[in-house]
Structure 1
């Protein structure tokens, strides 16, 4: 059973959250969940994150990590020739593409493959112009000066 959420009332009382509400709506529409390859997402600092994917059997040149805007795409495709006869095949080597939706200002810092684990380090870097800043409060002019300016504008 799927629950349908209606975010319409939130659009009336919020400004600038439309992207987040669209993401929630899209996430609820996911038809099937593919859980391969398995992965972990960890927060390792105030603005640092790490995605670790188990990609056993894939070589470094068979994996791709691409950031397109706010999307992180991780793909893998086996290039080797597989001509052996298997009695049992339990190690998955199928092609995959995993998509992660990144928040604004999150960038890929590094990606490493060690012992079958692909580690992708991410960092949120808020631009200087978006960080909080102190606004200096000036002294207001006297009411007499304000009224003179208002009268001058009315006369023109």
Structure 2
């Protein structure tokens, strides 16, 4: 009896943890291209500097891939652009190199963390878009996220506000 209950529970948890499946006809295989108008994020610790969390492009790339995978997208390639905003040609060439259906572009436009230590609030503006292999813009949205976090998190996990903003912006991609 206990074994059956355990198996049933483990199957249920596995089913809940599985990534979403994209609907038929929807874009599935994408490349991710990130850019940032913000050169560096203010960090709170040496550990964050060491793990690359002071570089907004690193955080954008990793979190965007994670959210897209959860939503059932297949990531064919990733490029971190040196330019503040990736060019259409840069995105199109990565799409073609990896035989992808589209490119997901995420650009960090602005961050304000002046009151994060005092009231745990950060403002982030992200621009998100989807580009076809021909260079046509399928979808674009600029989103502003105001993240509020507890004081402990604001002091220990300083870039969590950016990850929250990325999750919100990437979840809006059709």
TM-score, length-scaled by structure 1: 0.22
Larger helix share, 1 or 2: 2
Structure number with the bigger relative contact order (C-alpha 8 A, sep ≥ 6) is 2
Larger radius of gyration: 1
TM-score, length-scaled by structure 2: 0.20
